[in-house]
Amino acid sequence: MVAKIVVTQPVHAEQLQRLRDAGHEVVALDSPRGLSPEELVDAAADADALLSQLTDKLTGDVFARTRLTIVATIATGFDNIDVAAANTAKTIVTRTPDVLTDATADLAMTLMLSVARQIPRSDADTRAHGTGPFQLLREPMGIDISGATLGIVGLGRIGEALAHRAHFGFGMTIRYTARSSHPAAEERFGASRLPLGQLLAESDVVSLHAPLNDETRHLINRETLKLMKPTAILINTGRGPLVNEKDLAEALRSGEIAGAGLDVFENEPDVHPDLLAVGHRTVLTPHIGSATAKTRLAMTSLAVDNILAVLAGDPPLTPVG
Ligand code: DGY
């Protein structure tokens, strides 16, 4: 059958060609931003498949007012999709896990090192003033990552890939929180599972990898930030709303914690002005965890594989749930 596939935002052209080569009609909207529920309903009213991204708002209304067979999101996180409504509407939802694990864990490690060694500040100082003479007591003085304790909140694929890098590459001690214990990780990394409060209190670096849901929203807030060491660094490459940004900015401003490396924000595309004002104790990047050429292509390709499989009557490769 010839299916109609709506593509919400720009993706790799050769991947769209794969859909056309399979005989399908492709409507590429090329929106420069995510689509609202109303825009999605209009665009996908008579579509069979949607190739979407994490900024598209796939509410219950979208599923109730379309007849989509599949929504393939080019992301591993799916907090922008009302999966219960999709199930009711019998729309299959797929995502792109695994292919972005390494790139995202690499960025978490990069942010950790950048904050600890204040790389953006040193770069800016060097460009503005040159290196000056070597000075033993030159500021900014860094924080050691090697041998430090890393607390991982959510030991899924990305958390585990970070544990691997941190433990074997940097000799870090690994602590984690998770719903259930991970005996294999405990054996591999000597990791121990702790309640959140204890993990926050004992860690030199805390890295967030939990999915965003009602339980995890604002997991990091005024109260939980108080539990962290004044020398600690917070890293977030997961989802922005895991953190109350205003509370974090205040904790950074007052020296309650030492620094933060953030790739995701509570109200993307906006960044809380108080966080911007914190200056050199934060390193901010624009949601680029998976942004390597190879990884982004693999994500699009996997999403397209899912659409082709489902439209051919086969099971989805990487369904949500
Ligand atoms: C995801 O896949 O969920 C990331 O946030 C974007 O790569």
pLDDT of residue 139: 87
pLDDT of residue 96: 98
Mean pLDDT of the chain: 97
Q: Is 38 helix (H, G, I), strand (E, B) or coil?
A: helix
Residue whose token pair is 């539990």:
227
Percent of the chain with pLDDT over 70: 100
Q: Is the pLDDT of residue 184 over 90?
A: yes
Tell me how far apart the alpha carbons of residues 182 and 9 are, in angstroms, rounded to a whole number.
37
| Catalytic one of 164, 268, 280, 281 | 268
pLDDT of residue 208: 99
Ligand 1 in reach of 100 Cβ (< 6 A):
yes
Q: How confident is the model at residue 253 (pLDDT cuts 50, 70, 90)?
A: very high
Is 281 catalytic? The answer is no
pLDDT of residue 77: 98
Overall fold of domain 4-97+293-311: Rossmann fold (3.40.50)
Question: String of b and e for 176-206 (b: at least 16 CB within 10 Å)?
Answer: bbbeeebeebeeebebebbebeebbebbbbb
Q: How confident is the model at residue 280 (pLDDT cuts 50, 70, 90)?
A: confident
Is 33 catalytic? The answer is no
267: which 2 tokens?
A: 């109200």
Substitution site in 11, 53, 76, 295 for ligand 1 pocket (most atoms within 8 Å of beta carbon): 76
Q: What is the DSSP letter of 217?
A: T
Q: Could you identify the atom of ligand 1 that is nearest to the CA of residue 77? A: 3
Q: Is the pLDDT of residue 140 over 90?
A: no
Q: Which residues, at least 6 apart from 36, have a Cβ–Cβ distance to it below 8 Å? A: 57
**Stretch 215-228: mean pLDDT:** 98
Q: Is the pLDDT of residue 1 over 80?
A: no
CA 75 – ligand 1 centroid, Å: 4
| Catalytic one of 182, 239, 272, 296 | 239
The per-type count for the chain, helices as H runs and strands as E runs, is 14, 12
CATH code of 101-284, in short, is: 3.40.50.720
pLDDT of residue 62: 98
Tell me how far apart the alpha carbons of residues 46 and 106 are, in angstroms, rounded to a whole number.
40
- 228 sits in the region (left: phi over 0; alpha: psi -120 to 50; else beta) called beta
Q: How confident is the model at residue 279 (pLDDT cuts 50, 70, 90)?
A: confident
pLDDT of residue 321: 81
The residue nearest atom 7 of ligand 1, judged by CA position, is 290
**Stretch 123-151: mean pLDDT:** 95
Percent of the chain with pLDDT over 90: 98
pTM score over 0.90: yes
CATH topology of 4-97+293-311 equal to that of 101-284? yes
pLDDT of residue 202: 98
CA 259 – ligand 1 centroid, Å: 23
pLDDT in tens, 52-98: 999 999 999 999 999 999 999 999 999 999 999 999 999 999 999 99
Tell me how far apart the alpha carbons of residues 188 and 3 are, in angstroms, rounded to a whole number.
47
Looking at the DSSP bridge assignments, the partners of residue 63 are none
Domain ranges of the chain: 4-97+293-311, 101-284
Ligand 1 in reach of 76 Cβ (< 6 A):
yes
Is 182 catalytic? The answer is no
